[in-house]
């Protein structure tokens, strides 16, 4: 019997405010803002430097001009794709908070409200519970957020298409599908790499939720703060904080060291963010000792969480 679908469904139901309501509300808000600003500001979006000085009445004309311009063929799809990310990607702001607080309560709330005794009366092993409680926010939540981001990008594109259709502009220019789909995949892989780096920190948060008898947020934040303070006072160094900083995203500074960015327009920018970076990021990570050490630490915290849950009742 495969019990994982039922476990994941339960996690999703438990956390559906964070997994679904928050990103949908944020996406709806950003779509609403796009619609209001498009209608409110006379449907004009400016593409700096893409086209020469002309009097542009509306979005349709702007698109026409851009498409006909010297670099329009390469720059316009990239510009459109990027602007969709800006217009339909605001939900991502909430993701780190959703992941953090979901993990922090994952193994804490069930002990607080005693429902752990019900979960433990079911034929589900503690390792299965802990794994699902870790993987759902860390790996499933981003997939849901990405799906919502994609949906909102498509809604924005649809809305702008209708506007441009009425203005008599080139509607097809608003659908650079190859470039859009490409960014979705690139984003997913880059995000996965970043998640793997953050894994030890996330596993620590889950471990705290399995350990803390109260105030898990204090337990999550205080020990790292104390370690950093003690290190600072005794050795006058910041190795520990630097390590955390690198895991949380600082690694990218080193990973992209070799890239000499020469950004000239949206196409270069897009190619760099979604095309070049993720490959570099992945190969840098696989070759980094700190990356692998981080994964081992994450595994140790997960093991600790499982052992703590076995003893909890």
Partner 1 sequence: MTETVIEARGLSKSYGDFHALRPSTFSVPLGRILGVIGANGAGKTTMLNAVLGLSSFEGELSVMGCDPSTERGKLMQDVCFIADVATLPKWMKVGEVLDYVEGVHPRFDRAKAMEFLNRTNVPLDRKVRALSKGMTVQLHLAVVMSIDAKLLVLDEPTLGLDIIFRKQFYAALLEEYFDENRTVIVTTHQVEEIEHILSDVMFIKDGEIVLEAEMDALTQQFIEVMVTPGMEEEAQKLGPISKGVTFGKTTCIYKNIDREKLAELGETRRLGLADIFVATMTGEG
Which chain residues interact with partner 1 by CB under 8 A? 1, 3, 5-7, 9-10, 13-14, 110, 113-126, 128, 310-311, 313
Q: By C-beta, is 137 or 142 nearer to partner 1? A: 137
Query: What is the smallest separation between the CB atom of 13 and partner 1, expressed in angstroms?
Result: 6
The distance in angstroms from the start CA to the end CA of the chain is 25
Q: By C-beta, is 17 or 239 nearer to partner 1? A: 17
SS3 string, 65-129, reads HHHHCCCHHHHHHHHHHHHHHHHHCHHHHHHHHHHHHHHHHHCCHHHHCCCHHHHCCCCCCHHHH
Query: What is the smallest separation between the CB atom of 234 and partner 1, expressed in angstroms?
Result: 35
Q: By C-beta, is 125 or 257 nearer to partner 1? A: 125
Q: Rg of the chain over CA atoms, in angstroms?
A: 23
Q: By C-beta, is 14 or 231 nearer to partner 1? A: 14
Query: What is the smallest separation between the CB atom of 287 and partner 1, expressed in angstroms?
Result: 39
Query: What is the smallest separation between the CB atom of 261 and partner 1, expressed in angstroms?
Result: 48
255 neighbors 248 (Cβ within 8 angstroms): no
Query: What is the smallest separation between the CB atom of 303 and partner 1, expressed in angstroms?
Result: 15
Q: Is 88 exposed, middle or buried (0-12, 13-18, 19+ CB in 10 A)?
A: buried
Q: By C-beta, is 40 or 123 nearer to partner 1? A: 123
Q: By C-beta, is 73 or 125 nearer to partner 1? A: 125
Q: By C-beta, is 127 or 191 nearer to partner 1? A: 127
Among residues 288, 292, 296, 299, the alpha carbon closest in space to that of 252 is found at 288
Query: What is the smallest separation between the CB atom of 218 and partner 1, expressed in angstroms?
Result: 24
282-306 burial code (b ≥16 CB/10 A, e <16)? bebbeebeebeebbebbeebbebbb
Query: What is the smallest separation between the CB atom of 99 and partner 1, expressed in angstroms?
Result: 19
Q: Which two tokens stand for residue 128?
A: 């299965």
- Sign for the pseudo-dihedral over CA of 307, 309, 312, 313: negative
80 neighbors 173 (Cβ within 8 angstroms): yes
């Amino acid at each position: 019997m495969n019990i994982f679908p039922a476990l994941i469904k339960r996690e999703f139901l438990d956390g559906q405010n964070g997994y679904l309501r928050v990103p949908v509300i944020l996406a709806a808000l950003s779509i609403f803002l796009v619609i209001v600003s498009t209608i409110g500001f006379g449907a004009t979006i400016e593409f700096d430097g893409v086209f020469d000085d002309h009097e542009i009445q509306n979005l349709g004309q702007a698109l026409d001009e851009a498409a006909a311009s010297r670099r329009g063929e390469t720059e316009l799809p990239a510009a459109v794709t990027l602007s969709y990310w800006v217009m339909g990607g605001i939900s991502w702001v909430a993701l780190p908070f959703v992941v953090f607080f979901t993990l922090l309560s994952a193994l804490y709330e069930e002990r607080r409200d005693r429902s752990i005794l019900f979960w433990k009366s079911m034929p589900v092993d503690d390792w299965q519970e802990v794994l699902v409680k870790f993987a759902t926010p860390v790996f499933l939540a981003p997939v849901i957020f990405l799906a919502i981001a994609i949906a909102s990008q498509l809604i924005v594109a649809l809305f702008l298409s209708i506007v441009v259709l009425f203005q008599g502009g080139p509607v097809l220019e608003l659908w650079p599908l190859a470039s859009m789909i490409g960014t979705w995949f690139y984003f997913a892989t880059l995000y996965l790499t970043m998640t793997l780096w953050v894994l030890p920190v996330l596993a620590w948060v889950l471990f705290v939720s399995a350990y803390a008898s109260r105030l898990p947020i204090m337990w999550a934040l205080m020990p790292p703060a104390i370690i950093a303070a003690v290190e600072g006072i005794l050795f006058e160094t910041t190795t520990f904080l630097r390590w955390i900083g690198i895991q949380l995203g600082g690694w990218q500074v080193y990973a992209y060291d070799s890239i000499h960015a020469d950004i000239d327009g949206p196409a270069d920018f897009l190619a760099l963010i979604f095309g070049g970076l993720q490959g570099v990021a992945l190969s840098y990570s696989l070759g980094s000792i700190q990356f692998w050490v981080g994964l081992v630490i994450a595994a140790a915290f997960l093991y600790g969480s499982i052992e703590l849950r076995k003893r909890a009742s």
